[in-house]
Structures are given as structure tokens and as C-alpha cells.
Structure 1
Amino acid sequence: MRHYLHRHQPPHKLHHAVLAGIGAIVAIGVTGALSFHAGAPLLIAPFGASAVLLFSVPTSPLSQPMNVVGGHVVATAVALALHLVLPGTWWAAAIGVGAAISLMALLRVTHPPAGADPLLVFASDPGWSFLGMPVAAGALAMVIIAASFHRATGTTYPLRAP
């Protein structure tokens, strides 16, 4: 039973935890402000979870730009394609999530928050334009904001290619 309760995540220093929270505020705030001023949505609920990875664990492979943008784009594209041929039901949404996870893994762009994108697609029935705006544009904005924030705070992001 003890292994269920053990926290495997290493401890965060207070400074890093506070910076992670501030980074998320900045990223969601700036992306929301861009949405407001552009008159077009750039925020979707899964971006809140992306902010957790981008600012709390920026050195994780799952937090890297290709994973954030690629994961959201792949998961949403899979869901939009499946939604053309499947009904908007719970079981079709489940197939969308599973297919998105498999394709992200095969393409090496796994980003856990993107696993929620098919649920959003099946629940809201958007058109293909949803892939560009808010998904691709919003994910790209989040990555640019994260890279700028981390550069300003002296945190390594993104990881350098080997």
C-alpha cells in the first residue's frame, strides 16, 4: 500500500514553485489577452494542463516545443478526422483519445494534456478551422511565452538537441 502513497516527484524549491505559478499566470494571461484583442479564441482547457508541464517541469521531454505543439495538433487532427465518421458519443470520444495517444507515441510528440483534445472535439463539434485556431496558434503562443519566460528567469527551456 505504501507505494501508492509515495510521492515519486522530487521536491520543488519554493522559488521554483512560485516561478512555475507565475509563468502559468503569464502564459494563460497573455494568451487570453491575445484572444481578446484578436477577437479569436486562442485558449482551450487543455492548455491549462500544458502550462503545468511548461512551467513546473520544463526539462521534461513531454514539455518540449515539438511535443506541446505537435501533440495538440496531432491529437486534434485525429479527433476531427474521426468525428467525420463517428458519432458524437462517449465510445467514439474514447476511440479518439486512444487513437491520439497511439499516434502521438508513434510520432514521438507525446504531450499528456493533448489527450483531452479529442474529448473537446467530440463534445463541441468544431470544424477543421479549430485545428489552426485555437489549437495550433494557441499551442505555439504558449511555447513562445514559455521560452521567453524561462529565458528571462534563467531556466533552461527548451532542451538543446543532442
Structure 2
Amino acid sequence: MQTRWISRLLPAATNTRPTEWSRAAIGVSLGTLFSVWVCSLMFGLPVAMHLIGPLGASAILLFAVSSGALAQPWSIVGGYLCATLVSLGVVHFFGRTLDTACLAVGLALVCMCLLRCLHPPAGALALLVVLADPDSASLGWGLLAPVMLSAVCMLLAALAYNNLTRVRYPKKAAEPDPAFANPPVPGDPGITAEDLQKALEQMDAFIDVTPEDLEALIRSSEHYARRRSVGEVFTHSG
């Protein structure tokens, strides 16, 4: 039992090649540099540097795991917008303290969930907006401008770099595959995209995967399963 518990703490395989790590690393560096540089031109280096933490975290999502639901365009734009507005509202009514910063990140999470734009780096942004440095705090509600400028710049960088390096972004909904919904075995109702969506909803947890990705994964698994089954038939018959 103890061995099984410890094994859960071990990292799972990433299933990606070193070339993909390198591609993503270059994109993360370029995307963060571009976002901070543009922000510094418009609002000064101190404000841009204050936002660099959440931007770096967003860059990892947008360039390294761009197929995830948390890395899609509405996630970063909506997440940054929610976090900033909620945090500025908390500052307006309750001031800038550690307690209000923690309150802001919690409220930002609720807001992001309601608007379907959950983006983890926006949690760090909510804390930074409340516990802002003097240059950023002096902007007041105007802090929304550099935040959204940085988010849009990061998104533009991800759109350009990912597609230029042959990684489709943003994630597009997969075309319905009739073969996927048809029963592979008489009496078997098969699995549809709607079934996967309902299954995800019943999980009652945050799962960074789309029904389209699950459908593609199941289709691919069935393909390899059929190949294995055919290979076993030939092996036994030989």
C-alpha cells in the first residue's frame, strides 16, 4: 500500500520528444520577451517587469501545452481580464493587504469558472495586482491596459510561432467522424463526442483536456488495438 502511494508522487511520462521541448522553449523565451518588451515601451520597464511572472507561466501553457483547454485564446484573455478587474475591485473596497490579495485570487477563480476562461497564471496576476509595486499601483484602474496589452502580445506570439512551427493553434474542434460514432461491434452503441462531454462534466474536477482530444485519443487507441489484434491473429495462425 505504501509503495503504491509513493508511486503516485512520481512524475508521469511526458510522451514528447526533445525536439518538441526545444521548440517550446524557444517559443516561451521569444513570447515572454516580446510581451514584456512591448509593455515596457508603452508603460515603462518597472510595470512590465511586475507582470513578467504570470506572463512566463502563460507562455509555458501557450507554447508547451497549446492543445490544452487552459491554453486557448479565451483562457488567457478572459483569465487576465477577470483577474485584473476582480483584484482592482478588491483593492478599491478593501485596500492592499495580504488578506485582500488572497481574497482576490479566490474571487478571480470563481469568475474565471463562470466565464469558462480558467487560466492558472491569472491567479498569480490577481495577487500581483493587489500587492502591486508603486509604479503599477499608481496606475489605478489604468493597470488594466498594460495587463491586457501583455496578454494580447503573448497570444499573438503564440499564434504566430506555434503555427509557423507546424503546431496548430488555437485548438480547433475536430470534424465529426462517422466511423467513431458507428457501433464497431453489433449491439455496441459506440462513443460520441457528446458522450465524452457528459463524462467530463460528471468527473466534477478540473481536467485540462477537450472532448475533441479525447475523441482523437480513443480513435488512435482503437487503431493500434486493431493492428495488434490482426498481428496476433497472424502470429497464432502461423
Which TM-score applies when normalising by structure 2? 0.63
Structure 2 residue aligned with 1:135: 147
Report if aligned partners of 1:46, 1:114 keep a CA contact under 8 Å in 2.
yes
- Root mean square deviation of aligned Cα: 1.8
* 1:7 matched to 2:15: no
Identify which of 49, 52, 62 aligns with 2:60: 52
What is the distance in 1 between the residues matched to 2:164 and 2:68?
A: 19
Report if aligned partners of 2:84, 2:125 keep a CA contact under 8 Å in 1.
yes
Identity %: 33
Report if aligned partners of 1:42, 1:137 keep a CA contact under 8 Å in 2.
no
Structure 1 residue aligned with 2:222: none
The structure with higher relative contact order (CA 8 Å, sep 6+) is 1
**CA shift at 1:139, angstroms?**
0.3
- Runs (4 or more) in structure 1 with deviation over 3 Å come to 35-43
SS of residue in 1 equivalent to 2:140: coil
Identify which of 96, 103, 109 aligns with 1:95: 103
Q: How does 1:121-132 map to 2 (within 5 A)?
A: 121-124=129-132, 125=137, 126-132=139-145
* 1:106 matched to 2:118: no
**CA shift at 1:33, angstroms?**
2.9
**CA shift at 1:13, angstroms?**
0.8
What is the distance in 2 between the residues matched to 1:161 and 1:60?
A: 12
Deviations 1:112-142 (A, max 9, x none): 000011211111135111112x111110110
Deviations 1:56-91 (A, max 9, x none): 100001000000111011111000011101121111
CA distance 1:83–1:36, shift in 2 (3 Å): closer
CA distance 1:39–1:100, shift in 2 (3 Å): closer
**CA shift at 1:29, angstroms?**
1.7
**CA shift at 1:6, angstroms?**
2.4
- Bigger-Rg structure (1/2): 2
SS of residue in 2 equivalent to 1:59: coil
Report if aligned partners of 1:67, 1:110 keep a CA contact under 8 Å in 2.
yes
| Deviates further, 16-25 or 82-91 | 82-91
What is the distance in 2 between the residues matched to 1:9 and 1:118?
A: 32
Identify which of 7, 18, 25 aligns with 2:22: 18
* Structure 2: gaps spanning 5 or more residues: 175-238
CA distance 1:37–1:123, shift in 2 (3 Å): closer
* Structure 1: gaps spanning 5 or more residues: none
SS of residue in 2 equivalent to 1:159: coil
What is the distance in 1 between the residues matched to 2:23 and 2:15?
A: 14
Structure 2 residue aligned with 1:147: 159
Q: How does 1:65-80 map to 2 (within 5 A)?
A: 65-80=73-88
Give the residue type in structure 1 aligned to 2:161. F
Structure 2 residue aligned with 1:85: 93
**CA shift at 1:3, angstroms?**
4.2
Across the two proteins, how many residue pairs are aligned to each other? 161
